[in-house]
Amino acid sequence: MHIQPSENVWKNGTMIPWKDATVHVLAHCLHYGTGVFEGIRCYGTAKGPAVFKLREHMERLHTSAKAINMSIPHSVDELCSATKALVRENRLDSCYIRPISFFGVNGIGVNPQGYPVETFVVAFPMGAYLGEDGLRNGIRVHTSSWRRMSSGAVPATAKICGDYVNSALAVMEAKSNGFDEAILLNDIGMVAEGSGENIFMVRNGRIATPPLNAGILPGITRNCVIKIARDSGYEVVEDHISRSELYLADELFFTGTAAEVTPIREVDRRTVGPGKPGPITSALQKKFQATVRGEESQYIEWLDFVG
């Protein structure tokens, strides 16, 4: 996905020009994937730009770091203030924000203990991750031949740079086969999630999504959509979903910071419901879009106004 550079990048506590936000070739993370990152969105609202669930994202960054024994030398509060300052200084309105912390340069070898930890926060404009048409009409997905990595092999519920080789393999395969996105099954063959999204299924008016112990990333959008759905009177269960249950679904959709609420209209060449976004998906998508734009007073505290 092509992006437009912005003016400044936050690095280890100071603002630096975009073009200087570079990394040495011997950074440990580049070789061994030893970093953690986040994806956050900032939306234009009637009261100016507001970052959605900022604190939760920075808390998850710290939690992911803990999973790889990395200590980020910036508190959650500092990272939240840095992010808001970055959006302000770059005069951005709606944008995508990418914080990343990783083991830098200290020599060579797999053990990163004692290596410096570098932190960057980058912000730039970004549209619909799975396309405007996908948001409106739904996307076509397939079940990947790649399994979601097992939490016995890596901390699969943390957002670790190296873990995304798994996602990259799955999305490359999906695109090569003419699909928009992949669904990965976990090591026991149950549905896990997309390459960068959590998945939801609707059947007979009931909403289901795989539980955290399916080895998924605990999505922040997933939590928000569960809350919005329950508040709207829908029953939501966190339960294991098999591949064949997907084929019986009335509706399927993905959630994620980048993907927001994206309907799925086809899975493994089988039409989902009538082949267009279903009523529950559309209702939740509408409510989510209103929420992130500050139009739902009951969820206004989910937004952090940049000021």
Phi, psi angle pair for 278, to nearest 5° = -80, 170
Convert 101-147 into a string of H (helix), E (strand) and C (coil). EEECCCCCCCCCCCCCEEEEEEEECCCCCCCHHHHHHCEEEEECCCC
The footprint of ligand PMP on residues 134-193 (CB under 6 A) is 167, 193
Please identify, using beta-carbon distances, which residue of 61 and 115 lies nearer to ligand PMP: 61
Least distance to ligand PMP, CB of residue 307, Å: 24
According to the binding rule CB under 6 A, does residue 210 interact with ligand PMP?
no
Residue of 11, 53, 66, 159 marked active site: 159
Binding residue for ligand PMP, selected from 197, 200, 280, 302, defined by CB under 6 A: 197
Residues near 185 by beta carbon (within 8 Å), at least 6 away in sequence: 143, 144, 147, 148, 191, 192, 243
Q: Which two tokens stand for residue 148?
A: 């979601």
Give every CB contact of residue 204 below 8 A, 6+ residues apart in sequence.
250
Q: Which of 29, 122, 158, 217 binds ligand PMP (CB under 6 A)?
A: 217
Regarding 260 and contact with ligand PMP (CB under 6 A), the answer is no
- Quote the CA–CA distance of 299 and 295 in Å, as a whole number: 9
Structure token digits, residue 189: 């063959």
Write the binding mask 219 to 248 for ligand PMP: x where contact by CB under 6 A, - elsewhere: xxxx--------------------------
Query: What angle (nearest 5°) sits at the alpha carbon of residue 229, between those of residues 225 and 234?
Result: 150
> Any contact of residue 249 with ligand PMP (CB under 6 A)?
no
Number of residues located near ligand PMP, criterion CB under 6 A? 14
Catalytic: 287?
Answer: no
User: What are the residues binding ligand PMP (CB under 6 A)?
Assistant: 39, 167, 193, 196-198, 217, 219-222, 255-257
Residues recognised as catalytic = 159
